Structure 1
Amino acid sequence: MAAGNMYQFGQDDFFRMVEALTLRVILHDADTKSILWANHAARETLGFTLEELPALKAPDMTRNAEKYRREVGLQWLDEAARTGQSVIEWCYRAKNGNEILSEAIATRVSLETRDVLMVQFRDISAEEALKRELRRSESRLRAFMQDLAEGVIVVDRSGHVAYVSESGCRILGRVESDVLGAEFDRLCEAPLLQVLRDQVAPDVTMRGSFSMRFQVRTAMGELRWHQAVTRYVEIEDDISGYLLLFRDVTAQVGAESMEREREREIEYLARYNAMGEMAMTIAHELSQPLAATRNFIEGASMRLAKNHADPEPIRFGLEAAARQVEHASLIIKSIREYVVKLEQAEVRVDLNDIVHDSAYFISLKCEEADVKLELTLSPEPLPISCEKVLLGQVILNIAFNAIEEMAALPPERRTLRIETCVTGGTGCGGPKAMLMVHDLGRGLPQAASQRIFDGFFSGKPGGNGIGLALCKSIVSRHRGDIWAQNREPFGTSFAFSVPLCGEPAEG
């Protein structure tokens, strides 16, 4: 377009354009720095008229503070006049006294008659308040995280630490410069990056958090256990990778190790706790075949000493002795078969089968105390997952206690009944197999049902109370419950329940 046809933009056009702006504009003389004019948006904000503005000085429309004194304002405007533009944070004061924290940009503009400094300012009070709040929040967050029991660490896809919190450094036992940017696997006792990758689903919608434990060696060479809740995060272009919220659980791992050791000791005690009582019963049972064997052998020896001519009585005596020895051997074999698998793991088995295995020893104890034994077992299998010897020990312990309780009572009060059945349902955490042992004894002391499974509580003279505490420990180990209650008009019921497997049992 030819120069002659170009629209000539004059001073009046400039003023009309600035007057229409919503941005607040004040014009200063480039030389004297005095106020010449302000557009409608500036006049409305400050509350001054066009007639009032030229007479105003910096103190008249500026907050009274050291950083906003007149000399500072003049230096800012001088810089704009010299360089063409200058920016400052300035706090204007309106006619009504309201203060307006602003970002002010002074720009040198050449008009037809003079050069002016066009100052555009905008209210940044809300922005500054937000910044202050963010700074306060950041400060508080830093203070909280500094003493937080959990640490935060982000491991990027390449396996390097992209972020670590102050508390994370403290828990790791390292300074930030040692952690930030380091290969995470080098901090861990065993490589962990591949584990993180395997846990993160390719589909973003399927990603969730997961828990993990790992060991880390501190700068001092100490090995520590950490527990972390982990998820994959993508925070715009800033940080992405595996976020671990972790804490030191070394003491907890040590306590768990001690608890496992205690459980092993309890298992050992549980497996052998009733052996003393069982030995008494078995000794009584063995005394008959052993005494008979001795008599038969002594008789045969006497006949041999007298040079008895007929060998038949001698043969009979020796064969009878052999049968008695075989009978004693079968008794010992039964004991050996019951306790031979002392270290077996959990198997699926029918609870009724465990009762049948235990019934032999219970019957021997019942015969000794002249107690009648009744079995009322579920007609359907009760498949459970358990260590057969341990759960069998619970049954023996409860049954032996009941037999001892009734031993001194009248004959009509000496009946022991063992029942099994299914109990519970979907509303009770699923069906369970339940075993009950009923006696006709004197019952539990008042309010004792809440304490009988505590360690060292005993209702027997001279008893140490460890048996029922072991029973509770074993049943709890099998994810079950155990309880006791008095019967009417007399007697006690001991019971425990464990979850059904829902699969065919194997003997």
Structure 2
Amino acid sequence: MNFPADEDFHRLLDALTQCILLHDAETKAIVWANRAACDALGFSLEEMLPLKAADMTRPVPKYRREIGVGAMDRSITQGPQVYEWCYRSRSGVDMLSEAIATYVPLASRAVVMVQFRDISAEDAVKQTLRRYESRLREFMQDLGEGVAVLTPAGGVEFISESGRRVLGIADDAPMGGVLDYCNENDRDRLLEQLDHAPRIQPSAPQRYRITRRDGAARWLRITCRRIEIEDDLNGLLIHFRDITDEVTIEETRRTQARMLEYAGRYNAMGEMATAIAHELSQPLAAVRNFIEGAIRRLAQPGPVDDAIWGLRSADRQAEHAALIIKSVREYIVKREPTEALVDLRDVLGDVAYFIELRAREMDVKVTITQAPDTLPVYCERVLIGQVILNLAFNAIDALADVDAPRRHLQLVTMLRGTQAIVQVADNGPGVPEGAHGRLFDGFSSSKVGGNGIGLSLCKNIVTRHNGEIRAEPAEKGGLVCSFALPLAPASDEAAQAASSPDTETKD
């Protein structure tokens, strides 16, 4: 049966760029095709009319004739059907298509109109995007960093699988609010970071102690920035990484450093024990003598003025001994490290007493020359004092083989550019040529029997304060050890001066 021709109707359909095939609604045989369909498949209309599905379809199970017929039958009862179909042209070229089957009851017969268009390029793009997505998922699966997107209202629009692992969230469980994981002390800080998130680059990273959904306490490093991609994505992009191991290592190192520094102070006190005992023996012996004299006077009849004078003298000597012990206790007591803005000249003044005490025992002359102006630095005062003490004691011990009248130790503070300098110089035998650069590396020492641990500790402390330490030969023989610390900014020095009362400069 020939399809009734309406010239205007045919011209209209032939003008379409979309391919159209008309199938008999009952037999599903092709009864007409527009020019676009003929050109795409490479057949003339007369050649196409007797063709079956196998003649113009890719021969794979998913494109069997029964499947196409099923879609056409459903269009009759259920309305237009959209499905994927792969046509094959006369030359064997496959054309992946989106097909729409629509039932049309024409006056002469009922037909199913199949409109199809080539979606091969679109499918190739989709396949590429799916591959990228799969790869991205695989890559993100192994990341130690979580990614989340928050809506402007604060809701969670997306969280990566790695993010779920970091937060201990089950696959089917909701994330909840971002503040639910922080303790109360950190919530305001996290809110401030999110509220001030920049647009161009991530915010400065901040640390938070969180409690995961499984109850484990962890540390996170969080950065965020604002994103706005047309109407598709708008909110905050958050990156978070579990840094618990890093925090644990840092804390372990801090603890070890504190213990090492504490042990260093005890080591210094051990070296000073003889000198301190000698210093204390004098006031204690005087106390005993004054008290014995007072007892004898009280045992005799007559005025007690001499006894009272003796007791008061004993009290003064006991107070002097107490001050010596107090100075030692204040230095040796274990303290948590606190960094503050101090005058480096005052740090030298803190330990000068102990240096002079040790030097007096070894018959060493000590000269202290302070810089004329303040040397403001940020440091842990006790630790920098420990460095000066170690360098000075090392120099005093190095003078043991020098004739007593010539033993001389010089301590100098000075300003050099943007650095505050402390120099400790002796006129001892020095160290072998070429050993100066290794003196602070550990297990090197300038004194007989020394192991260099004290000098290594000095380097550890100075380096932690962003400073430098070095040793070099003195001009007239001996050794000069010096360390430099960066000066505090002038604004910080001015702020400290404004908030503190005037004090006398120590020279």
Distance 2:383 2:146 in 1: 42
SS in 1 for 2:114: strand
SS in 1 for 2:195: coil
One-letter amino acid of the structure 2 residue matched with residue 59 of structure 1: A
Show CA shifts across 1:59-78 (max 9, x none).
33221212223333333344
Distance 2:477 2:69 in 1: 104
Tell me which of 206, 217, 222 is aligned to 1:223.
217
Distance 2:317 2:153 in 1: 73
SS in 2 for 1:102: strand
Question: What is the match of residue 440 of structure 1?
Answer: 427
Moved more, 119-128 or 396-405: 119-128
- Kindly tell me: are residues 389 and 326 of structure 1, through their superposed partners in 2, closer, same or farther at Cα, counting changes over 3 Å? farther
Show CA shifts across 1:6-59 (max 9, x none).
xxxx93222222222222333444455444444343333333334433343323
Distance 2:193 2:407 in 1: 61
Distance 1:488 1:293 in 2: 47
1:253 corresponds to 2:247: yes
1:98 corresponds to 2:85: no
One-letter amino acid of the structure 2 residue matched with residue 382 of structure 1: L
1:176 corresponds to 2:178: no
Tell me which of 352, 356, 368 is aligned to 1:359.
352
Please list, as runs of the form range in 1=range in 2, the aligned pairs for 1:479-494 lying within 5 A after superposition. 479-487=466-474, 490-494=477-481
Paired residues of 1:108 and 1:117 also in contact (CA < 8 A): yes
Distance 1:13 1:121 in 2: 22
1:475 corresponds to 2:462: yes
1:262 corresponds to 2:252: no
One-letter amino acid of the structure 1 residue matched with residue 379 of structure 2: C
Question: What is the match of residue 390 of structure 1?
Answer: 383
One-letter amino acid of the structure 2 residue matched with residue 53 of structure 1: M
SS in 2 for 1:73: helix
- Kindly tell me: are residues 269 and 202 of structure 1, through their superposed partners in 2, closer, same or farther at Cα, counting changes over 3 Å? closer
TM-score, scaled to structure 1:
0.77
- Kindly tell me: are residues 84 and 346 of structure 1, through their superposed partners in 2, closer, same or farther at Cα, counting changes over 3 Å? closer
Distance 2:166 2:290 in 1: 78
Question: What is the match of residue 326 of structure 2?
Answer: 336
Please list, as runs of the form range in 1=range in 2, the aligned pairs for 1:27-176 lying within 5 A after superposition. 27-80=22-75, 85-109=80-104, 114-154=109-149, 162-176=157-171
- Residue 326 of structure 1: how far off its partner (Å): 5.2
One-letter amino acid of the structure 2 residue matched with residue 276 of structure 1: G
SS in 1 for 2:86: strand
- Residue 152 of structure 1: how far off its partner (Å): 3.6
Cα RMSD of the aligned pairs, angstroms, is 4.3
One-letter amino acid of the structure 1 residue matched with residue 459 of structure 2: K
- Residue 450 of structure 1: how far off its partner (Å): 5.5
Please list, as runs of the form range in 1=range in 2, the aligned pairs for 1:344-383 lying within 5 A after superposition. 345-383=338-376
Distance 1:391 1:335 in 2: 21
One-letter amino acid of the structure 1 residue matched with residue 371 of structure 2: S
Tell me which of 458, 463, 470 is aligned to 2:450.
463
- Kindly tell me: are residues 14 and 366 of structure 1, through their superposed partners in 2, closer, same or farther at Cα, counting changes over 3 Å? same
SS in 1 for 2:409: strand
Show CA shifts across 1:406-439 (max 9, x none).
2213579744333333345xxxxxx221212233
SS in 1 for 2:44: coil
Paired residues of 2:199 and 2:227 also in contact (CA < 8 A): no
Gaps of 5+ in 1: 1-9, 425-430
Paired residues of 1:294 and 1:321 also in contact (CA < 8 A): no
- Residue 401 of structure 1: how far off its partner (Å): 0.3
Distance 1:446 1:95 in 2: 92
- Kindly tell me: are residues 192 and 36 of structure 1, through their superposed partners in 2, closer, same or farther at Cα, counting changes over 3 Å? farther
Question: What is the match of residue 496 of structure 1?
Answer: 483
Distance 2:268 2:76 in 1: 103
1:419 corresponds to 2:430: no
Tell me which of 275, 287, 291 is aligned to 2:269.
275
Distance 1:185 1:364 in 2: 58
SS in 2 for 1:176: coil
Paired residues of 1:413 and 1:441 also in contact (CA < 8 A): no
SS in 2 for 1:365: helix
SS in 1 for 2:90: coil
Paired residues of 2:430 and 2:446 also in contact (CA < 8 A): no
Distance 1:11 1:81 in 2: 24
One-letter amino acid of the structure 2 residue matched with residue 66 of structure 1: P
Paired residues of 1:150 and 1:245 also in contact (CA < 8 A): yes
Distance 1:192 1:158 in 2: 20
One-letter amino acid of the structure 1 residue matched with residue 410 of structure 2: R
- Kindly tell me: are residues 277 and 329 of structure 1, through their superposed partners in 2, closer, same or farther at Cα, counting changes over 3 Å? farther
Question: What is the match of residue 200 of structure 1?
Answer: 194
Distance 1:45 1:97 in 2: 11
- Residue 400 of structure 1: how far off its partner (Å): 1.3
One-letter amino acid of the structure 1 residue matched with residue 96 of structure 2: L
Question: What is the match of residue 213 of structure 1?
Answer: 208
Paired residues of 1:271 and 1:393 also in contact (CA < 8 A): yes
One-letter amino acid of the structure 1 residue matched with residue 256 of structure 2: R
Show CA shifts across 1:316-354 (max 9, x none).
x99899879957955763663475375484443221232
Question: What is the match of residue 6 of structure 1?
Answer: none
Distance 2:181 2:354 in 1: 57
Distance 2:144 2:371 in 1: 52
Distance 2:119 2:353 in 1: 90
One-letter amino acid of the structure 1 residue matched with residue 430 of structure 2: G
Question: What is the match of residue 16 of structure 1?
Answer: 11
- Residue 396 of structure 1: how far off its partner (Å): 1.5
Gaps of 5+ in 2: none
- Residue 102 of structure 1: how far off its partner (Å): 0.6
SS in 1 for 2:49: helix
